[in-house]
Structure 1
Amino acid sequence: MMAAAESGPLTTHVLNTGDGVPASRLALSLHRLDSQLKIWSLLSVGTTDEDGRCSGLVGGEALSPGMYRLRFETGPYWESRGQTSFYPYVEVVFTISDPQQSFHLPLLMSRFSYSTYRGS
């Protein structure tokens, strides 16, 4: 599954705060929790662009109320820069109650820390 090229209702922006640059070419994936089976289903995969952004992870029709997980492959990103990291990946779990809204989920990261928030 590939992410759509156009912008969608869920976007992300990854910043390498340790080096003060966008985290370009960082792989990520979006998953949705099946509330009955309690298993995660892969919805899409993507890679950040040169500005550290990834839009179009999912089309509006694919979003429904529920729990989602955005997984950032931080270990391979740091390895590609010749560095090690304490976190091999970062998973951010969040709930969507109104799929008509737009959701922006930035990740600010260094090799030894990360933070995230719901942006606009």
Structure 2
Amino acid sequence: MGRLTTHVLDTAKGLPGSDIKVELYRVEGEQTQLLNTVYTNSDGRTDAPILADEDYVTGKYQLVFHTASYFHKQGIRLLEPAFLDDVVIRFGLVAEEDHYHVPLLISPYSYSTYRGS
């Protein structure tokens, strides 16, 4: 069976983004269903896959990274509302046996993502 993983890198500091709340939703039409809530560890990764085994099925998903609260905890003053309060990434899982890795590179005013390995 496949698995879904992520990690967050703070490109402004050149360090992993630790203690960031990440929510995973399954997307069906206009509806979303919360499947999992995790926090990144000191390496900016989650301690276990966000989605795996029998829960890992083909479909459309959404990751929500709560980045503004992370930057607040780092002592970075953001204008309110924050330019990037939450980073939302929607993506599809096609092959149920593959490992999908969705990294997030963040700074207070930008982000980037890609399908990692």
Using the size of structure 1 for normalisation, the TM-score is 0.87
> What percent identity do the matched residue pairs reach?
39
Residue 60 of structure 1: CA displacement?
2.0
Residue 59 of structure 1: CA displacement?
2.2
Gaps (5+ residues) in structure 1? 1-7
Q: Equivalent of 2:52, from 35, 59, 62?
A: 59
Gaps (5+ residues) in structure 2? none
Q: Which string of whole-angstrom CA distances, capped at 9 and with x for unpartnered residues, describes residues 44-74 of structure 1?
A: 0000000000132122211211100010000
Q: Secondary structure at the match of 2:33?
A: strand
Q: How many residues align?
A: 111
Residue 34 of structure 1: CA displacement?
2.2
For 1:26 and 1:115, locate their aligned partners in 2 and report how far apart those are by CA, in whole Å: 16
> Does 1:101 find its partner at 2:98?
yes
Contact 1:15/1:109 (<8 A) preserved: yes
**Greater strand proportion:** 2
- Give runs of ≥4 in structure 1 deviating > 3 Å: none
Q: Which string of whole-angstrom CA distances, capped at 9 and with x for unpartnered residues, describes residues 8-63 of structure 1?
A: 7111010000011100000000000124xx30000000000000001321222112
> Partner of 1:111 in structure 2?
108
Q: Secondary structure at the match of 1:88?
A: coil
Contact 1:60/1:99 (<8 A) preserved: no
For 1:70 and 1:21, locate their aligned partners in 2 and report how far apart those are by CA, in whole Å: 21
For 2:74 and 2:56, locate their aligned partners in 1 and report how far apart those are by CA, in whole Å: 34
Taking only aligned residues, the RMSD between alpha carbons, in angstroms, comes to: 1.2
For 1:112, give the aligned amino acid.
Y
Q: How does 1:16-95 map to 2 (within 5 A)?
A: 16-35=10-29, 38-54=30-46, 55-83=48-76, 84=78, 85-95=82-92
Using the size of structure 2 for normalisation, the TM-score is 0.90
